[in-house]
Amino acid sequence: MFDFNLLSENKISFKVSNNLFSDRVITKVMYWLQSSYVIEWKKNEEFSEIKLVKKNGHFNDEERDSLYKRISQDLIDFKTRALIFEETKEIRNILLIKAFANNDDFEDYFLTKDSPT
């Protein structure tokens, strides 16, 4: 994230590199901000330019610094989650296949248990 600027007393803008953060990651970060801010998002090939307009009140220095830290941390957090999700996709698929595969031992147990002797 760069060019984090206070445009007016209730509007902040910043840019996010599209090479570093996917639309999915940026969207997740913006989702958690929507209750407090009106979000304007313009995208080109290199970066996404985002403007946040505070719904109530004005920014002070502490809020601006806190928002910068929060957005920076959330971008890294959601990117890390996306990386872990991608890296573990095959393991999850194997577990799902195994969980829902027909298991002969499982079927044999119930067939012999319920069959008359």
In contact, 75 and 25? CB cutoff 8 Å: yes
Question: Is domain 2-90 in CATH 3.40.50.720, yes or no?
Answer: no
In contact, 51 and 13? CB cutoff 8 Å: yes
Which helix H or strand E contains 86, and what residues bound it?
helix 61-87
| Neighbour count for residue 63 (Cβ, 10 Å) | 13
pLDDT in tens, 17-58: 999 999 999 999 999 999 999 999 999 999 999 999 999 999
pLDDT in tens, 49-85: 999 999 999 999 899 999 999 999 999 999 999 999 9
The answer to whether residue 108 scores a pLDDT higher than 70 is no
Angle between helices 61-87 and 89-100 (to 10 degrees): 50
Q: Can you tell me whether residue 18 is helix, strand or coil?
A: coil
The pTM (predicted TM-score) of the whole model is: 0.75
Domain ranges of the chain: 2-90
